A and B are shown apart, each in its own frame.
Chain A
Amino acid sequence: MNIYVFVKRVPDTESKIRVNPETNLIVEEGLNFVLNPYDEYAVEEAIRLREAKGGKVTVLSVGIEEALVVLKKCLAMGADEAVLVNDTTAETYDGLRTAKIIAQALKKKFPDYSLILFGKQSVGVDNAQIPAMVAEFLGLPQVNVVTRLEIEGNKGIAHREIEGALEKVSFSMPVVISAQKGLNEPRYETLKGIMMAKRKEIPVYSLQELGLDEKDIVPQLEIIKMESPPPRKAGRKIEKEPAGAAKELAEFLHQEAKVI
């Protein structure tokens, strides 16, 4: 089974995000970048499937050369190959653009896919669009926000998380799956894995090499402005015996905030 996993480099979730109002971009200086947390579940699932059924796991990232670090991490976890699609354009927040690049990379260079895995969204852009868009461009079925995946031959069953329930979805391969927390427990890189990842060469493709013309992937979302959220003011803070505190809290909720 040929498994392709798309991964992204994102600021870790403990990061404070600062906005540069001149460029409408976030200030990257001082941020700690990591492999997108949801992508870890996707990579882990791919490795487990290969271990159980054989095949090859290739991880790909679309982005700047700094993304090589997260690709190395995936190799150290146990992926067989890694590829960078070098897109030097600053973050556009336009899912359609990235989905077009990914679909084209698969069509042009890796048409032997049977399973295409993503994290359910990148923490940051928070679009949760790309897996469904790639599935549409390639004419494949999709199952998003998956917490359980079983594949047998060229068919499978996935559990997809919805509001307060799970949908049991049957699908045929090839398929696009996006991973949710709960799918598995991602492994740590081993020392041996890290050493092997260091030596491994990562091919880099430009958008031109994929046959993409910049005019076909112009973002259609226009960023008018990026802003920091309005600061939230701290309200009242009380410190008194539990019975009195509970009474005052209930009064606040009922009479002032009128939420109960």
Chain B
Amino acid sequence: MQRNPQLNANGELQHLLSTEGLPREILMQILDTAESFVGVTEREVRKVPLLRGKSVFNLFFESSTRTRTTFEIAAKRLSADVINLNIALSSQSKGESLLDTVANLSAMQADIFVVRHNSAGAPFLIARHVKPHEHVVNAGDGRHAHPTQGLLDLFTIRHYKKDFGKLTVAIVGDILHSRVARSLIHGLTTLGAPEVRVIAPQTLLPAGVEALGVRVFHDMRAGLKDCDVVVMLRLQNERMRGALLPSAQEFNKHYGLTGDKLELARSDAIVMHPGPMNRGVEIDSTVADGPHSVILPQVTFGIAVRMAVMSIVAGN
């Protein structure tokens, strides 16, 4: 059997490429370590010396401000040196291959590559070719995976709900294009959430989504009933090919989270969103800014989770 490409010979996390196939113990190790880092981010000196003298290369083949920034903050709080490369604007456009780009950066003595790429699998390819002391963290590859977002979602859910064992979680909206949804679903099922629902029109669901262990709803009101956690996804206009939807207004009417739809969920339900939000499309402002929303804490926890991931892989 082929070894899980994320784990080393001792079964420890060498690269973080996907939440799929990660054992429960490793997911819990990341969440527990992140919990300790939340403490660090709340004190006067928000920095620890773990990655002092190490270099983190942010390799963004697809543009992103928020994710790149949170990785940068996380790396700096671990005392690493951070080098940001906006590859979309440089070597690739000059025709250099992905592996040549990585080989060049490796020659500049990188320790961690944080990779975002619009092709699914690019971080896996890089992970297969880096030296043993180099580590790859997937910051989003195509429609495939965005494991640190999935992990910060899991962290947020655990923070507010303590235990996954009794939870009903609904993920709503553009599941088809969402690497966030896939990463979260794998994490939730591994950690034992008994009911994970996806709520979307047929055109925004990947074929065979039930095989991931989710219940499918096309009617949002039925799907939200008695949920503990509601995860809204961004309607990804830039990834949309062809007419999957009549219009954003139409989408809002059926799948936008409004205050009255949210009342169908449990009274202590939390509302999450990976950002950036399209207010008035997938989520109304009254909900985004309302008492159930934990969207901004998600961002803060995301830094602690990324600190945990980088410090765990770099130590293995």
- Chains A and B are bound partners: no
Residues of B within 8 A of A (CB): none
Residues of A at the B interface (CB closer than 8 Å) are: none
